[in-house]
Structure formats: structure tokens, C-alpha cells
Amino acid sequence: MPLLHHEDPSSSLLFSNMPGATHRHDLSGAVDVAPYVMSFADYLHGAVDYAALARGFDALPDHGMLIGGCIDNSNSGAEKLTAPDAAGGGGATPMTANSSVSSSSSEAAVGDEESDLCRKEKVKEEEEEEEEEEKEKIKEGEEGSEKSKKVSTNPKKKGEKRHREPRFAFMTKSEVDHLEDGYRWRKYGQKAVKNSPYPRSYYRCTTQKCGVKKRVERSHQDPSIVITTYEGQHNHQSPATFRGGMHHFVAPHAAPSCFMSQDFLVQQVANSMINNNGHQMGINPSLYLPSLQPTLQQHQFPDYGLLEDIVPSFIHSNQP
């Protein structure tokens, strides 16, 4: 996927929309993305749900730049995150600031396998979308009384498959694993990642009734890269947003489709950028938008369901 390059080669942002991708990453690492705010947002509007990501920008401490992102619609657990390099299909995609690699690549890496999965999942998703909402409701209701139950996601209906919300993943070059994105998260688990020395952490939005989750893991291919995957959409504004006097309303329910999330992201991004005191802050110049920006705006993504769809373009751009 194409990247937008800025003047500063040191930082680069790579966005990839990966429908099949399962991760969303916050780029908390990137600190000042301000200059890109507008364009970024616009960009997002067109296609992806990077809002969430974007928000990370404003908060990003000192570490990191956004390397890439992708949206994953696939719900089935088929998501896999691969290191960018890996995704590249063997390191084909460099994630350096100059070179662009994308998270998509990571997911893309999984591409072959995932592409099928993603597509299947896509379909499922639609069907399950409704179910999910119901589940969530049920959950809420049950939560209080049936906590004693162990780990049963949905004790009530066994027949129902676990449904997952669209995910958005992106890679960030950052020293810190958990990037600040404006929301408050509570870590609820950590698991070792197969074939990787780095564990994957699971976070949940601490806001009541907000079921947004995110996973954070470090690429074993390039330890400096953090892969963040968002799942679901916030049904509230971020604390940061409030502080900044943000004004955008965010869709109250889980996004049924990638596009929803995209809007969401856009808003978030915009918000984050405008955040503090109404000043535009943030987006790090180091944030590079992929050349696909135009593409996104035009909604030309062939199929968001597949990473490969996106990744390839992005990869190609880098590789003649």
C-alpha cells in the first residue's frame, strides 16, 4: 500500500486498509501529526476507519510513528497479525520510515490464508452483526449477576458463533507497547504469541457499556514496531475529546461495516488533532499518509475484506 511521504523521512506513516486485517493499531507513537490532520481526516473519510488510530497520534508520546493500518472486517477468529515484514511475505516489505510497509502487509502476509477467511468472514459478519448487538445487550444484563461463570463469552446461546466486530489494525513504530489514543483502557489479558517472543496484550475500553477492545503486540520481525488492533467502536467520546472540546458525534453502536468505522476513525482523528484547546495539534509530521490517500477518498478499495487487496497495491508502489 502506498504511503504518503512527508518531508521527514524519519517518520513515516503507512496506512493500509485491510479488511481482512484484524488489527488496528494506534499510533500513539506518533506525536505530532498535526500537519496532516486535515488531509488525514479527509483521507480517512474516504475509506478507512482510522479515526481511532489517528487519535493515537495526538497522544502519542514520543515514540512512534504510524506505519500502517488496516481494517479487518473479518470476524472470525481468523485474524492473524504478522509482523510487517512477515506480512511482506518474507520481509518483502520494509517498514522503515522510508520504505513503507504496512500493517496491511502484516495481515497481508497472511494474505493467502486470510483472504479466503476474510471473505467468508465478511459474509458472516453481516449476518452476525445483529446477533452481536443482542449479545452485547445480554452481556450487559448478565454481567452483574452471572459473573461467576467462567469465561463463557455467551453462556446463553451456545449455538451462536462468537461474533467479532470489524477490526482495524495498524502498525506503529514505537517504543511503548500501549500507545495513548485518548481513551482509557484496561488490560484484561496477555498471551504469548506463537512464534514471537513478544506477548500480546488485550485491552478493553473502561467506559461502561463500551465494548471496544484492542490488542497490542510487538512485531517480532521488527521489535520497534507495535501492532495495535481495535475491535468495535466506541459509543462515547474519548476523554481527550471532551477535554479538547471536541464536537463530533460518534456512532453509538458497533460499526456494521468498515466504512462505519472509518468514519469513526476520521472523526476521532480529526478530534485528536484538534484536540487540546481547539488547537490543531497533532499529527506528527512524521506521519506519512500513503499515496493511497486519493484512492481511499475515491472509495476505490476493491474489497476491504481482503488485506491482499490493499496490501498489494501498497507493496507494489514500493516495488516496481
Residue ranges that bind DNA, judged by CB under 7 A: 22, 76-77, 79-80, 147-155, 158, 160-162, 178, 184-194, 200-204, 206, 213, 215
The nearest distance, CB 161 to DNA, in angstroms, is 5
Name which of 83, 54, 75, 62 is nearest 217 in CA terms: 83
Nearer to DNA, 187 or 299 (CB): 187
The nearest distance, CB 194 to DNA, in angstroms, is 4
Nearer to DNA, 49 or 79 (CB): 79
Nearer to DNA, 120 or 248 (CB): 120
Q: Is the dihedral of CA 74, 231, 250, 173 positive or negative?
A: negative
Nearer to DNA, 178 or 253 (CB): 178
The nearest distance, CB 160 to DNA, in angstroms, is 7
The nearest distance, CB 159 to DNA, in angstroms, is 8
Nearer to DNA, 190 or 224 (CB): 190
The nearest distance, CB 88 to DNA, in angstroms, is 19
Nearer to DNA, 80 or 234 (CB): 80
Nearer to DNA, 63 or 204 (CB): 204
Nearer to DNA, 78 or 101 (CB): 78
Nearer to DNA, 137 or 299 (CB): 137
SS3 per-residue string spanning the chain: CCEECCCCCCCCEECCCCCECCCCCCCCCCCCEHHHHHHHHHHHHHCCCCHHHHHHHHHCCCCCEEEEEEEECCCCCCCCCCCHHHHCCCCCCCCCCCCCCCHHHHHHHCHHHHHHHHHHHHHHHHHHHHHHHHHHHHHHHHHHHCCCCCCCCCCCCCCCCCCCCCEEEEEEECCCCCCCCCCCEEEEEEEECCCCCCEEEEEEECCCCCCCEEEEEECCCCCCEEEEEEECCCCCCCHHHHHHCCCCCCCCCCCCCHHHHHHHHHHHHHHHHHCHHHCCCCECCCCCCCCCHHHHHCCCCCCCCCHHHHHHHHHHHHCC
β-strand partners of 71 = 168
The nearest distance, CB 97 to DNA, in angstroms, is 28
The nearest distance, CB 202 to DNA, in angstroms, is 5
The nearest distance, CB 150 to DNA, in angstroms, is 4
66 grid coordinates: 504510524
Q: How far is CA 296 from CA 58, 65, 184, 304, 311, in A?
A: 22, 20, 29, 11, 13
The nearest distance, CB 312 to DNA, in angstroms, is 23
